[in-house]
Structure 1
Amino acid sequence: MIEADAGEIIATFGQFVIGDSLAVGFVVFSIVTVVQFIVITKGSERVAEVAARFSLDGMPGKQMSIDADLKAGIIDADAARERRSVLERESQLYGSFDGAMKFIKGDAIAGIIIIFVNFIGGISVGDDPPWYGFVLRSVYLYHADHW
C-alpha cells in the first residue's frame, strides 16, 4: 500500500475492462454505480418494504381466522399454537428482509464512498503524464476492485 502497487492482476484486469480510454472508464463507472445503487438497492429495498407491509397488514385477519377455526372446533389448541407460530415466523422473516435490504443499501452507499476514496487515492499516486496517467490508474483500480 505504501508503494502504491496494486499488483499486476488488478492493473491488467482494469486495463482489459476499459482499455486506454479515460472516457470509457468513466462511462463504465457511471453505469455500474447507477445499476448498483438505484436499480438493485432501491428496487430490492422497496420490494422488501412492500412484502413486510403486506405481511403485517394481513396478520390480524390470519389471527382471527385461527381463532375462528379454534372456536368452531375445526382445529384443536395445539394446531392453533402451531399456526400462530408459523404466522409469527412469517412476520419475522419479512421484517428481517426489510432490515437486510436497509443494510444492503448502507453497504452500497459505503461502497460508493470507497470508490471515490480509491479514485482520489489513485490520483494522488499517479505517474506521467501528470493529468492522465494517475486518473487512468485510479479508474483501473476501481474496475478491478468492483468486477
Structure 2
Amino acid sequence: MASQIPSHFEMVTPNQADAELARESSRSLAACKLPPGTGIRLRLGDDDDGESIVVPASAFRLFQNLLTEMSQGNAVTLVPTQAELTTQQAADILNVSRPYLVKLLDEGKIPSRLVGQYRRVRLDDLMVYKSRDDKARNDVLDQLSADAQDQGMGY
C-alpha cells in the first residue's frame, strides 16, 4: 500500500518482466554465501569496461531479499528504521484502524511524539511492538493447540 510509506520514498511495483528477471537473478544470487563482515564485488555494465564496486555483505543480503519480493510480484520500498510515520501509515502497517492505533499510543504501548498537533511513530518502535504482539499471539495459539491435543479434539 502506498500509504504505508513516507511519500519521499520510492515504491517499486514490478511488472511481469521485472518479476521474471528478479526471479532469475534471485536464484543466481542465492548460491552466493558470504560470511558477515565481508564484501562482494559487483560489476556494473555488460562489457569489460563496466565499473566494478564492492558492497558490504549486509547490503548484498538486503538486495537478495529485495529481488525475492519482486520475483513474487510484491511492491517494495526501502525505508530507514528511524523514519517517522503518520498514525494512518502506522495503522496500515499493523493492519488495524487508526483509532485503535491511537489507543495503543495513548496507553504507551507504542512510543510516539507530537509534531505540532500530529503524532509521529518511528518505524523501528512500531516494528518492536509488532514483533512482541506477533509473539504473544503465537504463544496463545500454541497454548490453544496444546490444550486441544490434550483434550483429544483432533486438531
> TM-score band, normalised by the shorter chain?
under 0.3
Structure having greater relative contact order (Cα 8 Å, sep ≥ 6): 1
Quick check: which has more Rg, 1 or 2?
Answer: 1
Higher share in helix = 1
Higher share in strand = 2
TM-score by length of 1: 0.28
TM-score by length of 2: 0.27
